[in-house]
């Protein structure tokens, strides 16, 4: 068995591991969104929709900005009054 026989199998294995890891990140982010007590209902719906529709960008956005969602909601509410 030479490297040209093993390389495709190795790439498939690494791709599968990466896909499973990404699904785990999506599930963890979705659970964090749903269990959050500081985020309002419709914000949760939008976050979960973003995670489903845009899996890469949704997860990156949640980990970058998700914890600050309540602060943004308060700022918007303050300016709309």
Do 13 and 21 meet the contact criterion of CB atoms below 8 Å apart?
Answer: no
3-state SS class at 39: coil
User: How high is the pLDDT of residue 20?
Assistant: 96
What are the phi and psi torsion angles at 31 (to 5°)?
-65, -40
Average pLDDT over residues 22-41: 90
User: How high is the pLDDT of residue 70?
Assistant: 66
CA pair distance 41, 16, nearest whole angstrom? 34
Structure tokens at 62: 């949640």
Q: What is the mean pLDDT of the chain?
A: 86
């Amino acid at each position: 068995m030479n490297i040209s026989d093993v390389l495709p199998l190795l790439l498939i294995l690494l791709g599968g591991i990466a896909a499973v890891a990404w699904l785990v990140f999506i599930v963890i982010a979705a659970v964090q969104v749903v269990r959050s007590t500081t985020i309002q209902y419709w914000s949760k719906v939008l976050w979960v929709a973003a995670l489903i529709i845009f899996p890469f960008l949704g997860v990156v956005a949640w980990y970058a900005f998700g914890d600050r969602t309540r602060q943004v909601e308060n700022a918007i509410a303050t300016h709309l009054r």
